[in-house]
Amino acid sequence: MTEPATAPKRSPLHPYAGRFEVHATMPEQPVSREQILDELRQMSTEEDRKGDTGRVSGSIYSGDHDHYHFQVEAFGYFGHANVLQRDMYPSATKMEAEIIAMTADILHGDENTGGLVTSGGTESLVTAMLAYREWGRNTLGIPNPQIIMPITAHPGHSKAFHWFDIDVLIAPVDEHQKVDVGWVRDHIGPNTVALVGTAGTYPHGVIDPIPELGQLALEHGIGLHVDGCLGGFILAWAKDCGYDHTPFDLSVPGVTSMSADTHKYGYALKGSSVLLFRPKSLRREQYLLIDDWPGGAYASPGMGGSRSGGLISATWASMLSFGKAGYRAIAQDIFRTADEVREAVLSHPELELVGDSLWNIAFTTTAESGMDIFHVNDGLGDLGWRMNGLQFPPALHFCITRPNTQPGVSEQFAIDLAKAVSYAQNPPNPMPRSGAMYGAGGAERPPKDKMRESSANRLDAIHEVGPLS
């Protein structure tokens, strides 16, 4: 169906109203599969177009539709499977455990590292925070555990603090947008159970001083979670590509957990992240084990209950299809493109960088220029670019992903950035249009104590790699 020439202007949130039927109720009669697939095809083709141009910051990490189709095929083999039923789908144990093991490998885990596959970065973060709350209560004997987190840390942590009634102290950052380690040191108290650092931060892509935070964690006998949801699967290859950076992963003494999103720079389908624990016994702190429910003994490894095996098989397939060499080659292109974007920004005396990210280039206007960075954003937007607006300080970032590495994209950005700066020097309106805005089968029942131990052992086993063939 094509858009009528005289179609009224649509709301950005409802662009298909009047074009496709709106289903406010379930239709009485079935809609044909052909019609359904045609509408989906039209919407996806049009909505992918902008991201495919390479003019979008972040959001689309792969952009390779052949890779998407490959993953959808892999998904199709197990999309219907509920991996809660491991007696029916033991393949999930193989694939999930190998996803965890491969992630631990590139992030320098060891034999005492365990993990979970989650539905995304938020679930990884809230699960980690819950584990530290329970560890604080059960092991340290702290009734009201407290966590210290930088203001730049992802809001997903705050969901955990809200949902699980965890006390949090928000640490400030220094002039480089990295957590103020001195402030953290001064505020560790008797209820502190864990610290949080990020590699790299969503706003500016910087790596917090993880080695210093790790040393504090060791000195005080507390945990340290590194949120690598955004940066884990790209920073893992930086040194191989010739870029030095602050150590950030499980190689750093004192790091006790780390999250990394396979659905970002792991190029898996959306809905996939990995949460690693060291020691792996920390993973057990957030297991839910219930032995007195009429429906049977219940043992859950994380937030999710029923989960589709399709996302596990697609993620597993994505990681294997690239291997280290494939990821490394893509990372090299991303770092090269980021260098070119950084050079374009620095060519304008009216602009300055915020932070020192290797791939997520944040920038703002200088005080001397008198310009508003969001006028620059408006100018870029008029030319088809979609940057991410930031606040505190007002800034933009260009998070470089694979579509941005296409030939000619960074060169066109440099040309259009110059036009946007010129626009911002004499904007048509004093107020910019844009701003900063960021979702087992049955078995004989052993005695209660043995049941809980057996259940925990089973949860461990389904997340571990089995004997090598």
Q: Are residues 270 and 362 in the same domain?
A: no
Among residues 240, 216, 205, the alpha carbon closest in space to that of 57 is found at 205
| Nearest residue to 86 (alpha-carbon basis) of 281, 275, 306 | 306
Strand segments, DSSP code E, in 92-166 are: 114-118, 146-150
pLDDT of 7 higher than 80? no
Residue 81 and residue 171 share a domain: yes
Q: 337 and 364 share a domain?
A: yes
Q: Would you say residue 455 lies in a domain?
A: no
In which band, very low, low, confident or very high, does the pLDDT at 308 lie, cut at 50, 70 and 90?
very high
Q: Give dist(CA 227, CA 200) in Å, integer.
A: 8
Domain count, the chain: 2
Which structural domain range is residue 404 located in? Answer: 323-425
- Tell me how far apart the alpha carbons of residues 109 and 114 are, in angstroms, rounded to a whole number: 9
Report whether pLDDT(72) > 50: yes
Interatomic CA distance for residues 171 and 195, integer angstroms: 10
Q: Are residues 285 and 168 in the same domain?
A: yes
Cβ burial of 304 (10 Å; 0-12, 13-18, 19+) is middle
Between CA 44 and CA 54, with CA 48 as vertex, the angle to 5 degrees is: 175
CATH number of the domain enclosing 380: 3.90.1150.10
Residue 295 belongs to some domain of the structure = yes
CA distance 154 to 108: 23
Single out the residue in 267, 286, 320 at which a domain terminates: 320
Taken in order 134, 137, 139, 140, the sign of the CA dihedral is positive
Calpha distance 263→62 (Å, rounded): 9
pLDDT at residue number 258: 98
Please tell me the distance from the alpha carbon of residue 209 to that of residue 189, in angstroms, as a whole number: 20
Beta-bridge partners for 14: 11
Cα-to-chain-centroid distance, residue 38: 31
Q: Is 43 domain-assigned?
A: no
* Average pLDDT along the chain: 92
Placement of tokens 């694979």 in the chain: 402
For residue 117, being part of any structural domain is answered with yes
The pLDDT score that the predictor gives to residue 9 is: 54
Name the domain boundary from 320, 339, 356: 320
Q: Are residues 161 and 121 in the same domain?
A: yes
The number of helix segments (H) and strand segments (E) in the chain equals 12, 13
On the question of a cis peptide bond just before residue 428, with omega within 30 degrees of 0, the verdict is no
| Residue 450: Cβ within 10 Å count | 11
Do 315 and 341 lie in a common domain? Answer: no
Whether cis (ω within 30° of 0) applies to the bond prior to 394 is no
> What is the pLDDT at residue 466?
53
The predicted model gives 182-202 an average pLDDT of 98
- Residues 341-386 have pLDDT tens digits of 999 999 999 999 999 999 999 999 999 999 999 999 999 999 999 9
Provide the whole-model pTM: 0.90
Query: Which token pair is 10?
Result: 């649509």
**Residues 212, 178 contacting (CB under 8 angstroms):** no
Residues 6+ apart with CB under 8 A from 384: 50, 53, 55, 416
Q: Is residue 80 part of a domain?
A: yes
| 29 or 25, greater pLDDT | 29
- The mean per-residue pLDDT over the stretch 402-407 comes to 98
Reading the block at residue 274, the tokens are 């990995």
Mean pLDDT of 207-226: 98
Q: Strand 167-171 vs strand 146-150: parallel, antiparallel, or unpaired?
A: parallel
Q: Running DSSP on this structure, what letter comes out for residue 246?
A: -
Tokens standing for 292? 């007195």
